[in-house]
Amino acid sequence: MQAACKRVARNAGNACEAAGRTLDHQGAVHLVSPDEDRPTLVLNPPDDRDFEAFVTSVVDSATEAAQLERSLRLRYPRAIVRPRDLAGERVEIWYVYRDGHWVRPGTR
């Protein structure tokens, strides 16, 4: 995955800055690929910078969600990567859960 889905903006209301990530209206972290063939990653929890850094470091080697999941489990044994599969959707999105399920921000 080119430069770990890096060229993105951090969305803070109307202001955007190049920061390698975006935040949606609920605070979820999205790592968006500049390469249209690569998925957008939605990370949970959104505020775990160590998890985000590790995902960024291993995502380049993953061409499938299962590959990313195997790489993440080296450090996060409960990590799960789930592709979103909506009919007619043009973008590919992978949900990346550190603990294998959604957790509230601030959960360690």
Number of domains in the chain: 1
If we measure between CA atoms, which residue out of 22, 26, 57, 27 comes closest to residue 40?
22
pTM, two decimal places: 0.70
State the number of CA atoms in the 13 A half-sphere of 35 facing the CB: 12
Quote the pLDDT of residue 16.
27
State the number of CA atoms in the 13 A half-sphere of 1 facing the CB: 28
**Cβ 45 vs Cβ 51: under 8 Å:** yes
CA–CA separation, 41 and 62 (whole Å): 12
Q: What is the extent of the structural domain holding 55?
A: 2-97
Q: Omega before 45 cis (within 30°)?
A: yes
CA–CA separation, 11 and 2 (whole Å): 21
Residue 81 lies in a domain: yes
Residues of the chain where predicted confidence (pLDDT) is lower than 70: 1-37
Quote the pLDDT of residue 90.
81
Quote the pLDDT of residue 6.
34
